[in-house]
């Protein structure tokens, strides 16, 4: 089967195409924020408080007269940074634990999987809130906490992949040549389990962006005056009677970003995971 | 069946112990102690005062001793007393807040089932039709939409602009003076938006699973056999296939409990509903250790019980499980 990504691949898989385009444009918006933002995101202007959307301010202004569109562009940086770092942490933990459980099996496997089940019993959001309130709410802390509370799915996935890989002939062959466990995992098993891991990482970014926005909305995530889509919505809630634009646009940004990563993830799954492609 | 239930109950014990260890460890390894927080720079609070506070709450003992004492009391449902100024037992505080949260979540689940099953079945039966495609788009949006944002938009549309539904709390002014039925109607009116907002994520997921479950069943051999034998299509779909496609939904319902309970923090904060989620949020903000620990444990136990209930109903509905060796 030809698995190279060519231009026609993208057009034969509309999910992949739309998701990829959204992800790429949000990433561009975040990277280029300082150059494309029409205003300084933290410039307070008391003469332009709570202006509805207009040609000067496409998404209106907030209670301090700051431009909402500029703040959203800078907010994209925060959301994506949190998403990527959190997923990186959860991948690191998930791959290590999953690899150990799947490779060694037996008692190690049982122990690790029971521990995973225990963590899964907790409503994730409770777990995150409980930890975050005991730390100072800051962007670094929420990255770490989201990462530390979202590794369970990856662990299970990697373990399942490794368990089935262990039965494959090329792995047995490598093993019988006396290669060390670390080498076996790193050089032969992990690369062959990479597909599902990448897919779950892409979907994980979507999840992390959603969680970050929820935390910031509750005032426990990114702290004002730093803009984040979540804490902009807090301001929207406080001014719900008078300024609908403060609520509409930042949420739309979250929706589109999360949608983009979900579509990309599902598209990759359709393309590369034959088991679930018929669904 | 009884044996299976007993086995499952027994299997819960190590999980329960694990839950208590995790909650305890999390709260106590995290920096920031209530006796110190807010007092660090207060000249009137001497070191001796802090020591006395720590001794009062037992924070000066070694960790394992604190854990053991906490666990011993936990067995008798004694979660300790809140650090807040009212100093009431944690269990009382949670007990008065829990019913609203449970109601919202149960109603949300019923709503999910009532809408997702017909949508899933209809999409599967008419696979790749316009209806199916439309529903796929709805599912993707339902997955991606931040529930609190949907809540905000609905508040603006239905609460602020046309004043159709109340946007905060669970009672109107003058609730005490209303008649019984009027009170129930008022409560229901306040719960519509929170229930819908809690349900949206699950709604998308559930209809997706229902669709793929139904597709799997429709393609299976016994359905083909039934078709070959000339069983009417209606009967195949709604009697033979639906029954089997519904089975995994039970498990899924159990799995969706932690999400619903966790989500209640955001929904209750958004709509100012005095439930367990809002209580947890307030406890987190004021670093009320016993309350945070108590609610975390209760949330996990509720999840565990929900999963057990789901497993038992699954076993009850599917004879293969409790007759088989598992």
- Cβ neighbours around B294 below 10 Å, total: 26
B89 DSSP β-pair partners: B81
Out of A124, A129, A244, whose CB is closest to B258?
A124
A61 DSSP β-pair partners: A67
DSSP state of A61: B
Contacts of A27 (CB under 8 A, 6+ apart): A80
Query: How far off is chain B from A254, nearest CA to CA, in Å?
Result: 7
DSSP state of B170: S
Query: How far off is chain B from A155, nearest CA to CA, in Å?
Result: 17
**Considering only CB atoms, which chain B residues are within 8 Å of A123?**
257-259, 261-262, 299-300, 303
- Distances from the Cα of A181 to the Cα of A35, A98, A111, A174, A187, angstroms: 49, 14, 19, 10, 10
Distance CA A133, CA A29 (A): 31
**B287 close contact with A: CB closer than 8 A:** yes
Query: How far off is chain B from A56, nearest CA to CA, in Å?
Result: 24
Instruction: Dump pLDDT digits (tens) for B96-135.
Output: 999 999 999 999 999 999 999 999 999 998 888 899 989 9
Contact B143 A118 (CB under 8 A): no
**A206 close contact with B: CB closer than 8 A:** yes
Average pLDDT for chain B: 83
Instruction: Dump pLDDT digits (tens) for B8-26.
Output: 888 888 888 888 888 888 7
DSSP codes, B266-325 = HHHHHTT--SHHHHHHHHHHTT-HHHHHHHHHHHHHHHHHHHHHHHHHHHHH-HHHHHS-
- Considering B50-59, B148-157, B181-190, the range whose residues carry the highest mean pLDDT is B148-157
Whole-number pLDDT of residue A1: 43
Whole-number pLDDT of residue B12: 84
Return phi, psi of residue B172, to 5°.
-80, 165
Whole-number pLDDT of residue B34: 55
Whole-number pLDDT of residue A279: 41
Q: Does residue B273 contact residue B210 with C-beta atoms inside 8 Å?
A: no
Out of B23, B215, B281, whose CB is closest to A218?
B281
**B98 close contact with A: CB closer than 8 A:** no
Q: Does residue A171 contact residue A193 with C-beta atoms inside 8 Å?
A: no
Whole-number pLDDT of residue B11: 81
When pLDDT is cut at 50, 70 and 90, the band that residue B37 belongs to is low
When pLDDT is cut at 50, 70 and 90, the band that residue B323 belongs to is low
* The residue count for chain A: 279
Whole-number pLDDT of residue A27: 94
Whole-number pLDDT of residue B35: 55
**A115 close contact with B: CB closer than 8 A:** yes
Whole-number pLDDT of residue B30: 62
Whole-number pLDDT of residue B178: 77
A67 DSSP β-pair partners: A61
| 105-134 in chain B: CB under 8 A from chain A | none
Per residue in B113-148, is it b (16+ CB within 10 Å) or e — as a string?
beebbebbbbbbbeeeeeebeebbebbbbbbbbbbb
Instruction: Dump pLDDT digits (tens) for A98-123.
Output: 999 998 888 999 999 988 988 888 88
**Considering only CB atoms, which chain A residues are within 8 Å of B300?**
121-123, 126
Walking along chain A (279 residues) 10 residues at a time, the average pLDDT comes out as 61 84 94 88 82 85 88 93 95 95 90 89 85 79 91 93 89 87 88 90 94 91 88 90 89 95 90 58
- Which position has the higher pLDDT, B65 or A265? A265
Give the whole-number percent of chain A exceeding pLDDT 70: 94
- Distances from the Cα of A6 to the Cα of A10, A191, B182, angstroms: 7, 22, 64
């Amino acid at each position: 089967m030809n698995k190279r990504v060519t231009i026609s691949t993208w057009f034969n898989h509309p999910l992949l195409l739309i998701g990829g385009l959204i992800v790429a444009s949000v990433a561009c918006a975040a990277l280029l924020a300082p150059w494309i933002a029409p205003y300084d995101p933290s410039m307070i202007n008391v003469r332009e408080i709570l202006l509805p959307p207009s040609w000067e301010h496409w998404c209106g202004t907030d209670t301090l007269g700051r431009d909402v569109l500029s703040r959203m562009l800078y907010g994209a940086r925060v959301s994506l940074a949190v998403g990527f770092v959190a997923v990186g942490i959860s991948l690191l933990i998930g791959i290590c634990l999953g690899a150990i459980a799947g490779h060694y099996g037996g008692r190690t496997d049982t122990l690790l999987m029971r521990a995973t089940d225990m963590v899964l019993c907790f409503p994730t959001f409770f777990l995150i809130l409980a930890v975050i309130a005991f730390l100072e709410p800051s962007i670094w802390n929420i990255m770490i906490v989201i990462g530390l509370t979202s590794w369970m799915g990856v662990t299970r996935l990697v373990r399942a992949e490794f368990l089935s890989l262990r039965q494959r002939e090329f792995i047995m062959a490598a093993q019988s040549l006396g290669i060390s466990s670390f080498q076996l995992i790193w050089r032969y098993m992990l690369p062959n389990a990479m597909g599902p891991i990448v897919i779950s990482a892409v979907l994980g970014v979507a999840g992390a962006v959603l969680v970050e926005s929820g935390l910031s909305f509750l005032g426990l995530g990114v702290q004002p005056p730093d803009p984040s889509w979540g804490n902009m919505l807090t301001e929207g809630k406080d001014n719900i009677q008078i300024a609908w634009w403060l609520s509409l646009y930042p949420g739309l940004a979250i929706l589109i970003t999360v949608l983009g990563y979900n579509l990309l993830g599902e598209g990759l799954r359709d393309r590369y995971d034959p088991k679930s492609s018929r669904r | 069946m009884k044996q299976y239930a007993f086995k499952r109950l027994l299997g819960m014990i190590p999980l329960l112990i694990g839950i208590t260890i995790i909650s305890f460890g999390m709260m106590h390894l995290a920096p920031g102690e209530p006796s110190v927080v807010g007092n660090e720079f207060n000249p009137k609070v001497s070191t001796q005062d802090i020591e006395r506070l720590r001794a009062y709450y037992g924070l000066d003992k070694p960790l394992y001793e604190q854990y053991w004492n906490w666990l011993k009391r936990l067995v008798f449902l004694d979660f300790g007393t809140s650090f807040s100024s009212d100093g009431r037992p944690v269990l009382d505080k949670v007990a008065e807040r829990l019913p609203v949260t449970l109601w919202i979540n149960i109603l949300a689940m019923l709503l999910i089932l009532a809408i997702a099953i017909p949508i899933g079945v209809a999409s599967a039966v008419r696979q790749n039709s316009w209806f199916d495609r439309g529903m796929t788009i709805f599912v993707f949006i339902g997955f991606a939409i931040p529930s609190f944002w949907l809540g905000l938009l609905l508040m603006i549309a239905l609460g602020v602009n046309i004043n159709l539904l109340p946007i905060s709390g669970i009672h109107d002014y003058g609730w005490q003076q209303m008649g019984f039925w009027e009170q129930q109607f008022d409560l229901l009116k306040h719960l519509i938006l929170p229930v819908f907002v809690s349900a949206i994520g699950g709604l998308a997921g559930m209809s997706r699973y229902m669709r793929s479950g139904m597709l799997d069943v429709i393609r299976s051999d016994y359905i083909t056999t039934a078709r070959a034998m000339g069983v009417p299509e209606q009967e195949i779909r709604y009697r033979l296939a639906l029954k089997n496609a519904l089975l995994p939904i039970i498990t899924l319902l159990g799995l969706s409990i932690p999400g619903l309970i966790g989500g209640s923090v955001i929904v209750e904060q958004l709509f100012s509903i005095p439930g367990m989620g809002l209580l947890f949020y307030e406890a987190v903000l004021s670093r009320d250790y016993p309350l945070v620990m108590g609610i975390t444990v209760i949330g996990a136990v509720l999840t565990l019980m929900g999963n057990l209930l789901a497993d038992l109903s699954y076993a009850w509905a599917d004879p293969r499980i409790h007759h088989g060796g598992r």
